[in-house]
Amino acid sequence: MHYKIADVVTEIKEKEDHPSESKYERFVGLEHYVSGEIVIRNFGSTELLESSMKTFRSGDILVARRNVYLKRASVVFFDGLTSGDSIVLRAKNERIARLLPFVLNTDKFWDYADQFSDGTMSKRLSPKVLLEYEFDLPDEDEQDEFANLLWAAVNTKYAYQQLLNQTDELVKSQFIEMFGDPIDNDRGWKYAKFPEVTTIVLGSTPKTSNPDYWDGDVKWISPAEMSDESFYIYDTVKHITEEGVKSAGLKPFPAGTVLFSTRAPIGKTAIAGCEMYCNQGFKNFICGPELNPVYLFYLLRTKKDYFDSLGSGTTFRELSRKAIEQMSISVPPMILQNQFEELYRQSDKSKFEIKQAINRIDDLIKSLMLQEA
């Protein structure tokens, strides 16, 4: 069956002028969306909100207006408030309410939104354009079964996501149980400054204006391409030439080096899976014989907020080499560090398998929706 958004939903424009004093406790801003997710599960508090906000109720669908390339449209299962950066839609019947979040997460919809949104650098979707979107669904007598299948997939995916979180929590608790606080050294092990147990390697950037320095075979990394999920990195987005290496005075670091971003932003960490070079956003650590790279990698990751608090600067925050050289960490017995490495590698393998399962579910949902496009 063929539909137009305007025929099956009502745009909700109701507002709360005094949000911090209202009956609503939960606020959904753009930071609470997760691109491509069917359900919004994150929220903030209304306590500090001062300006007027839109209201929504459980079962409504929120669509982010700004930066349409991020593809953010999700159903919400609680009452609350949102800003003018969200369009609030309320389906006119339960059947459409169950299916519409999937319609609004298809590539077809977001291609349409991108084509007809206003702006160039940061496209903005208008309610008028959204309401004109047309789509297809199975016949009415098949829609309930179709919705059941889609929502079963979403619930299974959420169960896998919870398993991922539990795996992370298990590793975190094991690290604390084994090592306590490695900055405070509350276990009383050897306490050493970074230069005593590592070699610190810096980076630089060849001149971007010189084409002879770029698109070569040499791996060169920047913090921008790292994520909070990074572990071993075996290749880089950008590559430079040998001429670029010489021009920037770069020094290589070997496989096993712990990458640590100390600028834009502070605290991203990973382990180099092969020899590579980096830009000036890093202070990297080549571990000596008393440090296991996986132990140091996880220490840096779990203490990200601590290292960030030591950064300085106004335009952007940076953690200086001098500051790092003055820091001390605990150096537990190598047998314990090696045991933690084994635990972490096993958990990472399990997480990879779970993520593969999640990807298969995403592919299933996409294929089901493509059949109806």
| pLDDT per residue as tens digits for the range 46-74 | 999 999 999 999 999 999 999 999 999 99
Tell me, yes or no, whether 265 lies in a domain: yes
Residues 243 and 189 in one domain: yes
**% of the chain beyond a pLDDT of 90:** 92
Domain count of the fold of the chain: 3
Tell me, yes or no, whether 20 lies in a domain: yes
pLDDT digits (tens, 9 = 90+) for 148-169: 999 999 999 999 999 999 999 9
Residues 123 and 256 in one domain: no
Residues 311 and 253 in one domain: yes
**318-329 mean pLDDT:** 94
Tell me, yes or no, whether 345 lies in a domain: yes
**Whole-number pLDDT of residue 373:** 61
Among the residue ranges 37-46, 88-97, 146-155, 315-324, the one predicted with the least confidence is 315-324
**Whole-number pLDDT of residue 132:** 96
Residues 17 and 129 in one domain: yes
Residues 325 and 190 in one domain: yes
Residues 157 and 285 in one domain: no
What pLDDT band is residue 317 in, cutting at 50, 70 and 90? confident
**Whole-number pLDDT of residue 242:** 95
What pLDDT band is residue 186 in, cutting at 50, 70 and 90? very high
What pLDDT band is residue 119 in, cutting at 50, 70 and 90? confident
Residues 339 and 297 in one domain: no
Among residues 330, 345, 364, the one where a domain terminates is 330
Residues 209 and 158 in one domain: no
Tell me, yes or no, whether 174 lies in a domain: no
Tell me, yes or no, whether 176 lies in a domain: no
CATH number at 106 reads 3.90.220.20
Tell me, yes or no, whether 177 lies in a domain: no
**Whole-number pLDDT of residue 118:** 86
Residues 227 and 119 in one domain: no
Tell me, yes or no, whether 178 lies in a domain: no
This prediction's pTM = 0.84
Residue 363 has pLDDT above 90, yes or no: yes
In this predicted model, which residue has the larger pLDDT, 104 or 312? 104
Residues 193 and 283 in one domain: yes
Instruction: Please provide the average confidence, as pLDDT, over all residues in the chain.
Output: 95
What pLDDT band is residue 180 in, cutting at 50, 70 and 90? very high
Tell me, yes or no, whether 175 lies in a domain: no
Q: SS3 string of the chain?
A: CEEEHHHHEEECCCEECCHHHCCCCEEECHHHCCCCCCEECCCEECCCCCCCEEEECCCCEEEECECHHHCCEEEECCCEEECCCEEEEEECCHHHHHHHHHHCCCHHHHHHHHHHCECCCCCECCHHHHHCCEEECCCHHHHHHHHHHHHHHHHHHHHHHHHHHHHHHHHHHHHHHHHCCCCCCCCCCEEEEHHHHEEEECCCCCCCCCHHHEEEEEEEECHHHCCCCCCEECCCCEEECHHHHHHHCCCCECCCCEEEEEECCEEEEEEECCCEEECCCECEEEECCCCCHHHHHHHHHHCHHHHHHCCECCCCCECCHHHHHCCEEEECCHHHHHHHHHHHHHHHHHHHHHHHHHHHHHHHHHHHHHHHC
**Whole-number pLDDT of residue 372:** 66
**% of the chain beyond a pLDDT of 70:** 99
pLDDT digits (tens, 9 = 90+) for 249-282: 999 999 999 999 999 789 999 999 999 999 999 9
- Show the domain range for 325: 183-330
Q: Would you call 49 exposed, middle or buried from its count of C-beta atoms within 10 A (0-12, 13-18, 19+)? A: buried
Residues 208 and 279 in one domain: yes
pLDDT digits (tens, 9 = 90+) for 121-135: 678 999 999 999 999
Residues 338 and 322 in one domain: no
